[in-house]
């Protein structure tokens, strides 16, 4: 059961991010929140994923972290300086991330069950975060 305070907090965050150009996207039997920041916010996302990569001693700057059953993830990167991370908790998740260009950053976070996300970044300096939950 989700507590009322957790719902209030989530709604506050979604409304706040909507005001700066992000917003929830429709998802089947769950929710999806996609954020594609620009400028300083994009650098913040990129730097955060780089720090995570350094802390995990990742040489190729890609990470997949899964817990649960029947999860799958694919990350494909070309060029230099790209960062990508996929975190999955629960079961039945699928994530595909592809980056073609330089210095792109992407984080995909999936919770619950049976979510599917495909993200492609083309060009240079793109950043994005996807939060997805299913039930």
- Per-position DSSP letters for the chain, written without gaps between them: ---HHHHHHHHHHHHHHHHTT-EEE--TTEEEEEE---HHHHHHHHHHHHHHHHHTT-SSSEEEEEEEES-EEEEEEESSS-EEEEEEEEES-EEEEEEESSS-EEEEEEEEB--EEEEEEESSS-EEEEEEEE-
Between CA 125 and CA 3 the distance in angstroms is: 38
Q: What is the pLDDT of residues 39-94, one digit of tens each?
A: 888 888 878 877 776 666 554 478 899 999 999 999 999 888 888 999 999 999 99
Q: What is the mean pLDDT of residues 14-29?
A: 46
Query: What's the domain count of the chain?
Result: 1
Q: How confident is the model at residue 8 (pLDDT cuts 50, 70, 90)?
A: very low
Task: Average the pLDDT over each of 12-21, 40-49, 74-83, 106-115 and give the range with the smallest value.
Answer: 12-21
Between CA 95 and CA 84 the distance in angstroms is: 12
pTM here is 0.68
Domain that holds residue 107: 4-134
């Amino acid at each position: 059961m989700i507590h009322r305070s957790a719902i209030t907090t989530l709604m506050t965050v979604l409304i706040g991010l909507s005001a700066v150009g992000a917003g929830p996207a429709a998802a089947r039997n769950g929710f999806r929140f996609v954020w594609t920041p620009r400028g300083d916010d994009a650098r913040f996302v990129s730097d955060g994923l780089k720090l995570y990569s350094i802390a995990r001693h990742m040489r190729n700057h890609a990470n997949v972290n899964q817990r649960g059953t029947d999860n799958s993830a694919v990350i494909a990167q070309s060029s230099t300086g790209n960062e990508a991370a996929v975190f999955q908790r629960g079961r039945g998740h699928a994530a595909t991330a592809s980056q073609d260009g330089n210095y792109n950053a992407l984080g995909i976070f999936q919770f619950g069950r049976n979510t599917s996300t495909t993200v492609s970044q083309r060009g240079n300096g793109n950043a994005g975060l996807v939060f997805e939950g299913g039930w």
